[in-house]
Amino acid sequence: MPFLAYVGVFLLLPTGIVIWDAVKNPAGQFDLASLKLLFNPEVRTFFTGSIELSALSSVVGAVFGAILAYAVASGNPDGVVRRLYLSGSGVLAQFGGVTLAFAFNAAIGPSTGFLFHAGWYYDFPGGIALIYIYFQIPLMVLVFLPAIDGLKIQWREATENLGGSTWHYWRYVGFPLLAPAFIGATLLLFANALSAYATIQAWENQIAYTAPQQIYIAINSEVGLASNEGDIIAVGMMVLVAIIMVGYFRLQRRAARWLR
Amino acid sequence: MVAVNVLGEGALVDPSARPPGMQLGRRKRLNLFRWVTFTIFGLFFLLPLIAMIRFSLEGKKPGTFSLTAWAQIGSTPDLVSAIEITLELAVITCAVMLVLLVPTMIWIRLRVQRISQIFEFLCLLPLTIPAIVLVVGLQPIYNQIEHYNVSALQLFWVYVILALPYAYRSLSAGLIAIDATTLSEAARSLGANWATVILRVIVPNMWQAIMNALLLTAALVLGEFTIAEILNDITLQVALFNISRATANAGVLFSTSTAALLFAFVLLLILSYAGRRRRRA
């Protein structure tokens, strides 16, 4: 079973190493006390920063992404438009990384902006959230489109035959059906923003605002709050993302009940 | 991306784009909504890219045009080697991912359905472990590997893991869509061995799913930054990042980024068409 060996070495083993390194004291013994560092005020600011940025960018990204997904879905299902939008979304959602920070710096950077010079470009979380929304919307389109495609035209016709208006359709049929998928997708976007590192690093790498940036600093410098500070923050992030993803998978299952 | 918006609006007058059986008034409103939405989102997505393209064409004096920055891509050795390595990484990662995942998934589907839940869990697990967390634990492992292999190509080991959830999802959708059990029983009763069943019966039937998996994997490798940076391997994204640290607004930064984005976009588009045609044939 080569698959199991592979996943074992490159996924399970590293995860185990992080957890083990986080829960041992400098003498190498098992000691949960080091996890207390997660509640250290300084460490907490990185988590607060991460959560603020993720919440802002995922909620805004989910709302606008859902609108765009509906516009894409209402067109020809096999058309060029849809193909181009999906490929474009695939690129922007996956490929973003450092490139996006360059693009935004070129567009609205405070000294270089092509469109205008945004004084708030380096504000946290406002400026960076705008860049995050730029890759959150395409991701929302990708994950939310199947749910919208699952809405059957017969449901709409049934509403109309019963004398319902467009408002009735959305209020009593469309929205309740899409709600679990929408909340689930928002959670996925939240986790996505939480794990993102490349964009914020390219945007401003002098000051650490978020937990991933602090992990980078911790594993690259000897001075820190503890020798295993990087591992401890990593475990904190792992727990946070795991909780969110469990919620996402549950909602997905709930959403799949109607949308086949 | 320019094409996206232009074609997006063009299709509104295309009669085949209209959902069947809709009242005229509602269709008009829907088209207006689509037109407004595509315009606003198109602007939001295009403007940063246009700005980037504009800067990639900036001449010596501000406001002039020149192709210097594009020519610089070829004459910056760091960048050329990083591009080569990244493309090689994409190919290796795709190959390893296929060899690892396709036979395992077919085997599980045909012979050991009961472990499919655990298998799915393992495949989706990387979604819940951020790359920045994974790399912390990978460092000691890579310190061991580096004794044997010092090139940045070693990144493919972990890139396969990062691509696992995306590849799994698209492959599993392709596998569910075909009746793998019947196909393999038919082939087996005609005397085919397992290699033939997998390579000549099942794989051709899930060709589009395999294409999707490859394309997602390639896009992921082209854009990955976190792990490469921390393991000190100079891939395309890391090389760009390093240039931006040295000179914040170097023209070559914008030309290379534009080229990379366009390349990924064209790749995904071509593969999305290629996958379909094969399936129809």
Residue B63 lies in a domain: no
Q: Which of A24, A128, A112, A195 is nearest to B54 (CA)?
A: A112
Q: Are residues B12 and B110 in the same domain?
A: no
The phi and psi torsions of A24 (rounded to 5 degrees) equal -120, 150
Lowest mean pLDDT among A99-113, A169-183, B125-139: A99-113
Q: Are residues B14 and B140 in the same domain?
A: no
Using CB atoms, pick whichever of A76, A85, A102 lies closest to residue B14: A76
Taking residue A171's Cβ as centre, other Cβ atoms within 10 Å add up to: 12
Residue A194 lies in a domain: yes
Looking up tokens 């080091």 gives A34
Q: What is the DSSP letter of B65?
A: B
Residue A13 lies in a domain: no
Residue B65 lies in a domain: no
**Tokens (6 digits) for A133:** 């929304």
For A166, the closest chain B residue by CA position comes to B26
Q: Are residues B231 and B174 in the same domain?
A: yes
Residue B191 lies in a domain: yes
Q: Which of B200, B206, B172 is nearest to B186 (CA)?
A: B200
Judged by a CB distance cut-off of 8 A, whether residue B25 touches chain A is no
Q: Are residues B139 and B11 in the same domain?
A: no
Q: Are residues B108 and B230 in the same domain?
A: yes
Whichever domain contains B265, its CATH number is: 1.10.3720.10
Which pLDDT belongs to residue A73?
83
Q: Are residues B31 and B80 in the same domain?
A: no
Q: Which of A4, A6, A10, A206 to mutate to test the interface with B (most CBs of B within 10 A)?
A: A10
**CB contact (8 A) between residue A153 and residue B272:** no
CB < 8 Å to A105, chain B: 248-249
Distance from the Cα of residue B2 to its chain's centroid: 20
Residue B105 lies in a domain: yes
Banded pLDDT at A154 (limits 50, 70, 90) = confident
CB proximity list for A67: less than 8 A, separation 6 or greater: B37
Under DSSP, is residue B58 helix (H, G, I), strand (E, B) or coil? strand
Which pLDDT belongs to residue A229?
80
Residue A29 lies in a domain: no
| H helix runs in B111-198, sequence order | 116-128, 131-145, 156-177, 180-189, 194-196
Q: Are residues B8 and B84 in the same domain?
A: no
Does the ipTM surpass 0.85?
Answer: no
Q: Are residues B39 and B87 in the same domain?
A: no
Q: Which of A62, A77, A58 is nearest to A178 (CA)?
A: A62
Which pLDDT belongs to residue B150?
62
Q: With 80 as the cut, is the pLDDT of residue A190 above it?
A: yes
Mean pLDDT of A50-62: 92
CB proximity list for A18: less than 8 A, separation 6 or greater: A231, A234, A235, A238, B133, B136, B137
Q: Are residues B29 and B78 in the same domain?
A: no
Which pLDDT belongs to residue B220?
85
Q: With 50 as the cut, is the pLDDT of residue B279 above it?
A: no
Q: What is the mean pLDDT of chain A?
A: 82
More confident residue, B239 or B18: B239
Mean pLDDT of A124-139: 86
Judged by a CB distance cut-off of 8 A, whether residue A255 touches chain B is no
Mean pLDDT of B1-11: 33
CA gap A238, A195 in Å, rounded? 9
Whichever domain contains A220, its CATH number is: 1.10.3720.10
Q: With 60 as the cut, is the pLDDT of residue B15 above it?
A: no
Residue B26 lies in a domain: yes
Mean pLDDT of B206-219: 84
Q: Are residues B51 and B83 in the same domain?
A: no
More confident residue, A222 or A103: A103
Chain A (42-71) residues lying within 8 Å, Cβ to Cβ, of chain B = 64, 67-68, 71
Residue B86 lies in a domain: yes
> Beta strands of B64-123 (E only): which ranges?
none
Mean pLDDT of B120-129: 86
Using CB atoms, pick whichever of B17, B47, B101 lies closest to residue A76: B17
Judged by a CB distance cut-off of 8 A, whether residue A239 touches chain B is no
Q: With 50 as the cut, is the pLDDT of residue B206 above it?
A: yes
CA gap A160, B167 in Å, rounded? 41
Banded pLDDT at B2 (limits 50, 70, 90) = very low
pLDDT one-digit tens code per residue, A216-246 = 888 877 666 677 788 888 888 888 888 888 8
Mean pLDDT of A168-180: 84
Q: With 70 as the cut, is the pLDDT of residue A260 above it?
A: no
Q: Are residues B91 and B30 in the same domain?
A: no
Give how many domains chain B has, as a whole number: 2
For A18, the closest chain B residue by CA position comes to B137
**CB contact (8 A) between residue B41 and residue A197:** no
Judged by a CB distance cut-off of 8 A, whether residue A198 touches chain B is yes
Q: Are residues B38 and B158 in the same domain?
A: no
The count of residues in chain A is 260
Residue A109 lies in a domain: yes
Chain B (92-111) residues lying within 8 Å, Cβ to Cβ, of chain A = 100-101, 104
CA gap B233, B225 in Å, rounded? 10
Give how many domains chain A has, as a whole number: 1
Which pLDDT belongs to residue A58?
93
Residue A18 lies in a domain: no
Judged by a CB distance cut-off of 8 A, whether residue A129 touches chain B is no
**CB contact (8 A) between residue B128 and residue A191:** yes
Domain that holds residue B33: 2-56
Give the pTM: 0.81
Which pLDDT belongs to residue A57?
92
One-letter amino acid for residue A254 of the chain: R
Looking up tokens 């359905």 gives B113
Q: Is A1 exposed, middle or buried (0-12, 13-18, 19+ CB in 10 A)?
A: exposed
Residue A20 lies in a domain: no
Smallest CA–CA distance, residue B198 to chain A, in Å, is: 17
Using CB atoms, pick whichever of B54, B130, B269 lies closest to residue A84: B269
Judged by a CB distance cut-off of 8 A, whether residue B70 touches chain A is no
